[in-house]
Amino acid sequence: MRSLWMGVAALAFAAPVAAQDLGGEVQKQMPSLMTIYKDLHANPELSFMEVRSAGILAAEARKLGFTVTEKVGGTGVVAVMKNGPGPVVLIRADMDGLPVTEQTGWPGASKVRVTTKEGVETGVMHACGHDTHMTAWIGTARLMAANKDKWSGTLVMIGQPAEERGAGARMMLADGLYTRFPKPEYAIAFHDAAGFPAGMIGYTPGYALANVDSVDILVKGLGGHGAYPQATKDPIVLASRIVTSLQTLVSRETSPLDSAVVTVGSFHAGAKHNIIPDEAKLQLTVRSYTDEVRTRLLDGIARIAKGEAIAAGMPEDKMPVVSVEKDEYTPATFNTPEFTGEMAAYLKTRFGERVVQLPPVMGGEDFGRFSRDENKDVKSLIIWVGGVPQAEFDAAKKEGRTLPSLHSPFWAPDAPAVISTATEALTSMAMKLMAKG
Protein backbone atom coordinates (compact mmCIF):
# COMPACT_ATOMS: atom_id res chain seq x y z
CA MET A 1 0.00 0.00 0.00
CA ARG A 2 1.25 3.47 -0.72
CA SER A 3 1.83 5.94 2.05
CA LEU A 4 -0.85 8.58 2.41
CA TRP A 5 0.79 11.78 1.30
CA MET A 6 3.69 11.25 -1.02
CA GLY A 7 4.53 14.79 -2.02
CA VAL A 8 7.81 15.34 -0.25
CA ALA A 9 10.07 14.34 -3.12
CA ALA A 10 8.00 16.27 -5.62
CA LEU A 11 8.33 19.46 -3.62
CA ALA A 12 12.07 19.52 -4.16
CA PHE A 13 11.80 20.55 -7.84
CA ALA A 14 14.46 23.06 -8.77
CA ALA A 15 12.81 26.36 -9.62
CA PRO A 16 14.22 29.22 -11.68
CA VAL A 17 15.40 32.12 -9.50
CA ALA A 18 12.50 34.39 -10.49
CA ALA A 19 10.02 31.83 -9.22
CA GLN A 20 11.56 31.24 -5.84
CA ASP A 21 9.62 33.94 -3.96
CA LEU A 22 6.22 32.65 -4.98
CA GLY A 23 7.35 29.03 -4.64
CA GLY A 24 8.51 29.77 -1.10
CA GLU A 25 5.20 31.39 -0.24
CA VAL A 26 3.38 28.32 -1.58
CA GLN A 27 5.49 26.02 0.58
CA LYS A 28 4.65 28.08 3.67
CA GLN A 29 0.96 27.53 2.92
CA MET A 30 1.25 23.79 2.28
CA PRO A 31 0.74 22.43 5.84
CA SER A 32 -2.47 24.42 6.20
CA LEU A 33 -3.59 23.60 2.64
CA MET A 34 -3.03 19.88 3.24
CA THR A 35 -5.26 20.06 6.32
CA ILE A 36 -7.98 21.57 4.12
CA TYR A 37 -7.34 18.97 1.40
CA LYS A 38 -7.66 16.03 3.80
CA ASP A 39 -10.94 17.43 5.07
CA LEU A 40 -12.32 17.95 1.55
CA HIS A 41 -11.10 14.52 0.46
CA ALA A 42 -12.80 12.76 3.38
CA ASN A 43 -16.06 14.68 2.85
CA PRO A 44 -16.88 14.60 -0.88
CA GLU A 45 -20.29 15.74 -2.09
CA LEU A 46 -22.13 14.73 -5.25
CA SER A 47 -23.11 17.17 -8.02
CA PHE A 48 -25.70 19.80 -6.96
CA MET A 49 -25.05 18.93 -3.28
CA GLU A 50 -21.72 20.77 -2.74
CA VAL A 51 -23.03 22.78 0.22
CA ARG A 52 -20.27 22.03 2.72
CA SER A 53 -17.47 22.40 0.15
CA ALA A 54 -18.91 25.70 -1.08
CA GLY A 55 -19.10 26.92 2.52
CA ILE A 56 -15.38 26.21 3.01
CA LEU A 57 -14.41 28.15 -0.12
CA ALA A 58 -16.71 31.05 0.76
CA ALA A 59 -15.43 31.33 4.34
CA GLU A 60 -11.78 31.27 3.22
CA ALA A 61 -12.33 33.94 0.58
CA ARG A 62 -14.29 36.16 2.97
CA LYS A 63 -11.46 36.01 5.52
CA LEU A 64 -9.07 37.21 2.82
CA GLY A 65 -11.15 40.28 1.99
CA PHE A 66 -13.00 39.05 -1.11
CA THR A 67 -16.61 40.10 -1.63
CA VAL A 68 -18.33 36.72 -1.61
CA THR A 69 -21.70 35.72 -3.06
CA GLU A 70 -23.03 32.21 -2.48
CA LYS A 71 -25.71 30.10 -4.16
CA VAL A 72 -24.90 31.35 -7.66
CA GLY A 73 -26.29 28.72 -10.03
CA GLY A 74 -27.14 26.25 -7.25
CA THR A 75 -24.26 25.90 -4.81
CA GLY A 76 -21.80 28.11 -6.77
CA VAL A 77 -19.50 30.61 -5.04
CA VAL A 78 -18.32 33.90 -6.58
CA ALA A 79 -15.51 35.75 -4.77
CA VAL A 80 -14.50 39.13 -6.17
CA MET A 81 -11.44 41.19 -5.28
CA LYS A 82 -11.27 44.63 -6.91
CA ASN A 83 -7.74 45.95 -6.80
CA GLY A 84 -7.43 48.99 -9.05
CA PRO A 85 -7.58 49.40 -12.81
CA GLY A 86 -6.72 46.49 -15.09
CA PRO A 87 -8.16 43.34 -16.60
CA VAL A 88 -10.75 41.06 -15.04
CA VAL A 89 -9.36 37.55 -14.50
CA LEU A 90 -11.58 34.58 -13.61
CA ILE A 91 -10.16 31.54 -11.82
CA ARG A 92 -12.39 28.50 -11.53
CA ALA A 93 -12.41 25.36 -9.40
CA ASP A 94 -15.11 22.70 -9.63
CA MET A 95 -16.36 21.18 -6.40
CA ASP A 96 -18.25 17.92 -6.99
CA GLY A 97 -17.28 14.33 -6.19
CA LEU A 98 -18.48 11.14 -7.90
CA PRO A 99 -20.66 8.14 -6.98
CA VAL A 100 -17.58 5.93 -6.64
CA THR A 101 -16.60 3.88 -3.58
CA GLU A 102 -12.99 4.74 -2.79
CA GLN A 103 -10.59 1.79 -2.88
CA THR A 104 -7.23 3.55 -2.62
CA GLY A 105 -6.56 2.07 0.81
CA TRP A 106 -5.53 5.47 2.14
CA PRO A 107 -6.06 6.03 5.87
CA GLY A 108 -7.70 9.32 4.84
CA ALA A 109 -10.01 7.70 2.29
CA SER A 110 -13.61 8.83 1.96
CA LYS A 111 -16.12 6.67 3.82
CA VAL A 112 -19.09 8.78 2.74
CA ARG A 113 -22.14 6.90 1.47
CA VAL A 114 -25.34 8.39 0.09
CA THR A 115 -28.56 7.26 -1.50
CA THR A 116 -29.02 8.98 -4.85
CA LYS A 117 -32.27 10.44 -6.16
CA GLU A 118 -32.64 7.24 -8.17
CA GLY A 119 -32.59 5.26 -4.90
CA VAL A 120 -29.15 3.70 -5.43
CA GLU A 121 -26.87 3.53 -2.38
CA THR A 122 -23.29 4.38 -3.30
CA GLY A 123 -19.99 5.50 -1.90
CA VAL A 124 -18.84 9.03 -2.76
CA MET A 125 -15.28 9.91 -3.72
CA HIS A 126 -13.28 12.78 -5.18
CA ALA A 127 -12.26 10.36 -7.94
CA CYS A 128 -11.74 13.25 -10.40
CA GLY A 129 -9.52 15.18 -7.97
CA HIS A 130 -11.78 18.20 -7.60
CA ASP A 131 -10.60 18.30 -3.98
CA THR A 132 -7.14 19.28 -5.28
CA HIS A 133 -8.83 21.94 -7.44
CA MET A 134 -10.62 23.49 -4.47
CA THR A 135 -7.51 23.39 -2.28
CA ALA A 136 -5.34 25.07 -4.92
CA TRP A 137 -8.13 27.64 -5.38
CA ILE A 138 -7.80 28.51 -1.69
CA GLY A 139 -4.01 28.58 -2.00
CA THR A 140 -4.27 30.91 -4.98
CA ALA A 141 -6.75 33.18 -3.18
CA ARG A 142 -4.37 33.46 -0.23
CA LEU A 143 -1.35 34.29 -2.39
CA MET A 144 -3.25 36.81 -4.50
CA ALA A 145 -4.51 38.55 -1.34
CA ALA A 146 -1.03 38.55 0.21
CA ASN A 147 0.52 40.02 -2.95
CA LYS A 148 -2.08 42.70 -3.64
CA ASP A 149 0.60 45.37 -3.98
CA LYS A 150 2.07 43.54 -6.98
CA TRP A 151 -1.01 43.42 -9.24
CA SER A 152 -3.80 45.66 -10.43
CA GLY A 153 -7.16 44.55 -11.79
CA THR A 154 -10.19 42.56 -10.71
CA LEU A 155 -9.95 38.95 -9.61
CA VAL A 156 -13.09 36.82 -9.85
CA MET A 157 -12.66 33.42 -8.21
CA ILE A 158 -15.48 30.93 -8.63
CA GLY A 159 -16.33 27.60 -7.02
CA GLN A 160 -18.42 25.75 -9.59
CA PRO A 161 -20.94 23.01 -8.83
CA ALA A 162 -21.94 19.97 -10.87
CA GLU A 163 -19.10 19.74 -13.39
CA GLU A 164 -19.55 15.97 -13.54
CA ARG A 165 -23.10 16.46 -14.77
CA GLY A 166 -22.01 19.02 -17.36
CA ALA A 167 -24.42 21.46 -15.73
CA GLY A 168 -22.63 23.74 -13.27
CA ALA A 169 -20.99 26.21 -15.65
CA ARG A 170 -24.27 26.63 -17.56
CA MET A 171 -26.19 27.18 -14.32
CA MET A 172 -23.74 29.81 -13.04
CA LEU A 173 -23.84 31.69 -16.35
CA ALA A 174 -27.65 31.50 -16.42
CA ASP A 175 -27.70 32.89 -12.86
CA GLY A 176 -25.82 36.02 -13.97
CA LEU A 177 -22.14 35.15 -13.56
CA TYR A 178 -21.26 37.63 -16.32
CA THR A 179 -23.97 40.22 -15.57
CA ARG A 180 -24.16 40.39 -11.78
CA PHE A 181 -20.37 40.18 -11.48
CA PRO A 182 -17.51 41.64 -13.57
CA LYS A 183 -17.19 39.79 -16.89
CA PRO A 184 -13.67 38.43 -17.38
CA GLU A 185 -11.25 39.04 -20.22
CA TYR A 186 -9.41 35.90 -19.18
CA ALA A 187 -10.63 32.63 -17.63
CA ILE A 188 -8.15 30.10 -16.26
CA ALA A 189 -8.37 26.76 -14.47
CA PHE A 190 -6.51 23.51 -14.03
CA HIS A 191 -7.38 19.82 -13.90
CA ASP A 192 -5.33 17.15 -12.19
CA ALA A 193 -4.07 14.50 -14.65
CA ALA A 194 -3.85 10.74 -14.12
CA GLY A 195 -1.60 10.11 -17.12
CA PHE A 196 1.65 11.80 -16.23
CA PRO A 197 3.95 12.44 -13.26
CA ALA A 198 3.12 14.65 -10.33
CA GLY A 199 4.15 18.27 -10.70
CA MET A 200 4.23 18.28 -14.52
CA ILE A 201 2.13 20.91 -16.32
CA GLY A 202 0.43 20.12 -19.64
CA TYR A 203 -1.21 22.52 -22.10
CA THR A 204 -3.11 22.03 -25.34
CA PRO A 205 -3.71 24.96 -27.70
CA GLY A 206 -7.12 24.94 -29.43
CA TYR A 207 -9.53 22.07 -28.79
CA ALA A 208 -8.41 20.29 -25.61
CA LEU A 209 -11.50 18.34 -24.53
CA ALA A 210 -14.52 17.12 -26.46
CA ASN A 211 -18.23 17.81 -26.95
CA VAL A 212 -19.98 15.10 -24.96
CA ASP A 213 -23.55 14.02 -25.76
CA SER A 214 -25.52 11.17 -24.23
CA VAL A 215 -28.06 9.57 -26.57
CA ASP A 216 -30.75 7.00 -25.76
CA ILE A 217 -32.38 4.88 -28.46
CA LEU A 218 -35.53 2.90 -27.76
CA VAL A 219 -35.81 0.28 -30.52
CA LYS A 220 -39.36 -0.99 -30.78
CA GLY A 221 -40.29 -4.43 -32.06
CA LEU A 222 -43.12 -6.92 -32.02
CA GLY A 223 -42.46 -9.65 -29.46
CA GLY A 224 -43.39 -13.31 -29.62
CA HIS A 225 -42.20 -16.91 -29.42
CA GLY A 226 -38.54 -17.51 -30.29
CA ALA A 227 -39.53 -20.52 -32.38
CA TYR A 228 -41.86 -18.48 -34.61
CA PRO A 229 -39.77 -15.44 -35.66
CA GLN A 230 -41.90 -14.98 -38.76
CA ALA A 231 -44.71 -13.77 -36.50
CA THR A 232 -42.56 -11.11 -34.84
CA LYS A 233 -40.43 -8.05 -35.57
CA ASP A 234 -37.24 -8.79 -33.68
CA PRO A 235 -35.88 -5.64 -31.96
CA ILE A 236 -32.60 -7.38 -31.07
CA VAL A 237 -31.72 -7.99 -34.70
CA LEU A 238 -32.83 -4.46 -35.60
CA ALA A 239 -30.86 -2.85 -32.73
CA SER A 240 -27.81 -4.92 -33.73
CA ARG A 241 -28.05 -3.54 -37.26
CA ILE A 242 -28.34 -0.03 -35.88
CA VAL A 243 -25.20 -0.57 -33.74
CA THR A 244 -23.28 -1.84 -36.76
CA SER A 245 -24.45 0.94 -39.08
CA LEU A 246 -23.60 3.60 -36.49
CA GLN A 247 -19.95 2.63 -36.91
CA THR A 248 -19.98 4.16 -40.38
CA LEU A 249 -20.77 7.62 -38.98
CA VAL A 250 -17.14 7.90 -37.90
CA SER A 251 -15.47 5.62 -40.43
CA ARG A 252 -17.33 6.74 -43.61
CA GLU A 253 -19.09 10.05 -42.95
CA THR A 254 -16.53 11.98 -40.90
CA SER A 255 -13.38 13.35 -42.47
CA PRO A 256 -10.33 11.36 -41.38
CA LEU A 257 -8.89 14.71 -40.32
CA ASP A 258 -11.75 15.42 -37.89
CA SER A 259 -12.19 13.62 -34.57
CA ALA A 260 -15.32 11.79 -33.49
CA VAL A 261 -16.47 8.93 -31.26
CA VAL A 262 -19.77 7.03 -31.33
CA THR A 263 -19.72 4.39 -28.60
CA VAL A 264 -22.69 2.19 -27.75
CA GLY A 265 -21.98 1.58 -24.08
CA SER A 266 -25.17 -0.21 -23.16
CA PHE A 267 -27.47 -2.65 -25.03
CA HIS A 268 -30.36 -4.16 -23.11
CA ALA A 269 -33.14 -6.41 -24.39
CA GLY A 270 -35.04 -9.54 -23.54
CA ALA A 271 -35.37 -11.79 -20.50
CA LYS A 272 -35.37 -15.41 -21.71
CA HIS A 273 -33.92 -17.75 -24.36
CA ASN A 274 -37.08 -18.43 -26.28
CA ILE A 275 -38.87 -15.10 -26.18
CA ILE A 276 -38.39 -12.38 -28.75
CA PRO A 277 -38.84 -9.17 -26.72
CA ASP A 278 -40.82 -6.18 -27.89
CA GLU A 279 -38.10 -3.61 -27.34
CA ALA A 280 -34.35 -3.05 -27.04
CA LYS A 281 -32.59 -0.10 -25.41
CA LEU A 282 -29.28 1.42 -26.47
CA GLN A 283 -27.23 4.05 -24.66
CA LEU A 284 -24.55 5.97 -26.54
CA THR A 285 -21.81 8.44 -25.77
CA VAL A 286 -21.11 10.72 -28.72
CA ARG A 287 -17.99 12.87 -28.84
CA SER A 288 -16.55 15.48 -31.17
CA TYR A 289 -14.71 18.80 -31.16
CA THR A 290 -16.47 21.08 -33.62
CA ASP A 291 -20.15 22.05 -33.61
CA GLU A 292 -20.43 20.94 -37.26
CA VAL A 293 -19.21 17.38 -36.58
CA ARG A 294 -21.42 17.19 -33.50
CA THR A 295 -24.54 18.14 -35.46
CA ARG A 296 -23.67 15.70 -38.24
CA LEU A 297 -23.25 12.81 -35.75
CA LEU A 298 -26.49 13.52 -33.89
CA ASP A 299 -28.48 13.92 -37.11
CA GLY A 300 -26.84 10.76 -38.49
CA ILE A 301 -27.81 8.68 -35.46
CA ALA A 302 -31.48 9.65 -35.88
CA ARG A 303 -31.32 8.97 -39.64
CA ILE A 304 -29.66 5.53 -39.25
CA ALA A 305 -32.05 4.40 -36.50
CA LYS A 306 -35.07 5.32 -38.62
CA GLY A 307 -33.56 3.98 -41.85
CA GLU A 308 -32.75 0.59 -40.38
CA ALA A 309 -36.25 0.35 -38.89
CA ILE A 310 -37.75 1.04 -42.32
CA ALA A 311 -35.46 -1.59 -43.88
CA ALA A 312 -36.68 -4.08 -41.25
CA GLY A 313 -40.28 -3.39 -42.25
CA MET A 314 -41.30 -1.68 -39.04
CA PRO A 315 -44.61 0.20 -39.29
CA GLU A 316 -44.62 4.00 -39.00
CA ASP A 317 -45.85 3.92 -35.38
CA LYS A 318 -42.98 1.65 -34.30
CA MET A 319 -40.06 3.80 -35.39
CA PRO A 320 -37.14 3.94 -32.90
CA VAL A 321 -37.27 6.80 -30.40
CA VAL A 322 -33.97 8.69 -30.31
CA SER A 323 -33.59 10.96 -27.27
CA VAL A 324 -30.86 13.55 -26.87
CA GLU A 325 -30.96 16.56 -24.58
CA LYS A 326 -29.39 18.92 -27.09
CA ASP A 327 -28.91 21.78 -24.60
CA GLU A 328 -27.78 19.63 -21.69
CA TYR A 329 -24.45 18.48 -22.96
CA THR A 330 -20.83 19.17 -22.19
CA PRO A 331 -19.44 21.45 -24.90
CA ALA A 332 -15.88 21.11 -26.13
CA THR A 333 -13.17 23.00 -24.29
CA PHE A 334 -11.24 25.31 -26.59
CA ASN A 335 -8.07 26.91 -25.27
CA THR A 336 -7.60 30.25 -27.03
CA PRO A 337 -4.49 29.41 -29.08
CA GLU A 338 -2.55 32.68 -28.86
CA PHE A 339 -3.34 33.16 -25.18
CA THR A 340 -2.39 29.54 -24.49
CA GLY A 341 0.93 30.05 -26.26
CA GLU A 342 1.69 33.17 -24.21
CA MET A 343 0.83 31.51 -20.91
CA ALA A 344 2.75 28.32 -21.78
CA ALA A 345 5.85 30.36 -22.64
CA TYR A 346 5.51 32.22 -19.36
CA LEU A 347 5.02 29.02 -17.33
CA LYS A 348 8.16 27.59 -18.96
CA THR A 349 10.18 30.51 -17.57
CA ARG A 350 9.03 29.50 -14.08
CA PHE A 351 8.73 25.71 -14.26
CA GLY A 352 11.19 24.89 -17.05
CA GLU A 353 10.95 21.38 -18.46
CA ARG A 354 8.02 20.51 -16.25
CA VAL A 355 5.81 22.29 -18.84
CA VAL A 356 4.89 20.19 -21.89
CA GLN A 357 2.42 20.43 -24.77
CA LEU A 358 -0.12 17.60 -24.81
CA PRO A 359 -2.49 16.30 -27.50
CA PRO A 360 -6.23 16.86 -27.03
CA VAL A 361 -8.37 14.17 -25.41
CA MET A 362 -11.94 12.96 -25.94
CA GLY A 363 -12.86 13.47 -22.27
CA GLY A 364 -15.29 16.24 -21.37
CA GLU A 365 -15.12 19.31 -19.09
CA ASP A 366 -17.70 22.06 -18.92
CA PHE A 367 -15.09 24.80 -18.42
CA GLY A 368 -15.50 25.48 -22.15
CA ARG A 369 -18.88 27.11 -21.42
CA PHE A 370 -17.19 30.19 -19.96
CA SER A 371 -15.82 31.16 -23.37
CA ARG A 372 -18.33 30.08 -26.01
CA ASP A 373 -21.48 31.32 -27.73
CA GLU A 374 -21.90 35.02 -26.85
CA ASN A 375 -18.76 34.88 -24.67
CA LYS A 376 -16.22 33.98 -27.34
CA ASP A 377 -14.36 37.21 -26.46
CA VAL A 378 -13.25 35.61 -23.16
CA LYS A 379 -9.75 34.20 -23.61
CA SER A 380 -9.57 30.91 -21.79
CA LEU A 381 -7.11 28.22 -20.79
CA ILE A 382 -7.33 25.05 -18.72
CA ILE A 383 -4.01 23.38 -17.97
CA TRP A 384 -3.34 19.84 -16.76
CA VAL A 385 -1.29 19.29 -13.61
CA GLY A 386 0.15 15.78 -13.37
CA GLY A 387 -0.80 13.81 -10.29
CA VAL A 388 0.79 10.35 -10.59
CA PRO A 389 3.41 9.78 -7.85
CA GLN A 390 6.75 9.62 -9.68
CA ALA A 391 7.67 6.19 -8.23
CA GLU A 392 4.30 4.81 -9.25
CA PHE A 393 4.65 6.27 -12.75
CA ASP A 394 8.14 4.77 -13.20
CA ALA A 395 7.10 1.35 -11.85
CA ALA A 396 4.02 1.18 -14.09
CA LYS A 397 6.10 2.09 -17.12
CA LYS A 398 8.70 -0.56 -16.31
CA GLU A 399 6.10 -3.27 -15.73
CA GLY A 400 3.90 -2.24 -18.69
CA ARG A 401 1.04 -1.69 -16.25
CA THR A 402 -1.91 0.64 -16.88
CA LEU A 403 -2.32 3.41 -14.33
CA PRO A 404 -5.72 4.14 -12.75
CA SER A 405 -7.56 6.82 -14.71
CA LEU A 406 -9.57 9.76 -13.42
CA HIS A 407 -12.90 8.47 -12.02
CA SER A 408 -11.21 5.23 -10.92
CA PRO A 409 -11.80 4.12 -7.30
CA PHE A 410 -8.00 3.67 -7.18
CA TRP A 411 -7.08 7.22 -8.32
CA ALA A 412 -4.66 8.40 -5.64
CA PRO A 413 -2.90 11.58 -6.75
CA ASP A 414 0.21 12.95 -5.14
CA ALA A 415 -1.90 15.71 -3.64
CA PRO A 416 0.88 17.94 -2.24
CA ALA A 417 2.60 18.04 -5.63
CA VAL A 418 -0.66 18.80 -7.49
CA ILE A 419 -1.77 21.46 -5.02
CA SER A 420 1.57 23.24 -4.74
CA THR A 421 2.19 23.18 -8.51
CA ALA A 422 -1.34 24.32 -9.35
CA THR A 423 -1.35 27.06 -6.72
CA GLU A 424 1.91 28.46 -8.05
CA ALA A 425 0.83 28.10 -11.70
CA LEU A 426 -2.58 29.77 -11.24
CA THR A 427 -1.21 32.55 -9.03
CA SER A 428 1.68 33.32 -11.35
CA MET A 429 -0.58 33.37 -14.44
CA ALA A 430 -3.07 35.71 -12.73
CA MET A 431 -0.30 38.00 -11.52
CA LYS A 432 1.25 38.06 -14.98
CA LEU A 433 -2.10 38.99 -16.55
CA MET A 434 -2.65 41.76 -13.98
CA ALA A 435 0.97 42.86 -13.64
CA LYS A 436 1.41 46.45 -12.50
CA GLY A 437 2.66 49.05 -14.98
- Give residues 128-147 in contact with Zn ion (rule: CB under 5 A): 128
CB of 192 to Zn ion, least distance (A): 8
CB of 137 to Zn ion, least distance (A): 14
258 is catalytic: no
Measured CA to CA, the distance from residue 140 to residue 426 in angstroms comes to 7
Contact letters for Zn ion, residues 175-194 (x by CB under 5 A): --------------------
Closest CB to Zn ion among residues 54, 128 = 128
Measured CA to CA, the distance from residue 32 to residue 139 in angstroms comes to 9
Total residues binding Zn ion (CB under 5 A): 1
Q: What are phi and psi of 301, to 5 degrees?
A: -65, -45
CB of 363 to Zn ion, least distance (A): 8
Stretch of residues binding Zn ion (CB under 5 A), selected from 68-76, 121-129, 248-256, 336-344: 121-129
163 is catalytic: yes
Closest by Cα among 414, 398, 361 to 197: 414
- Give residues 380-409 in contact with Zn ion (rule: CB under 5 A): none
Q: Which residue is nearest to Zn ion (CB)?
A: 128
Measured CA to CA, the distance from residue 136 to residue 93 in angstroms comes to 8
Catalytic residue from among 102, 131, 163, 308: 163
CB of 224 to Zn ion, least distance (A): 44
Closest CB to Zn ion among residues 209, 282 = 209
Stretch of residues binding Zn ion (CB under 5 A), selected from 40-48, 123-131, 339-347, 423-431: 123-131
CB of 98 to Zn ion, least distance (A): 7
- Give residues 42-71 in contact with Zn ion (rule: CB under 5 A): none
Catalytic residue from among 45, 96, 164, 308: 96
Catalytic residue list: 96, 163
Q: What residue ranges bind Zn ion (CB under 5 A)?
A: 128
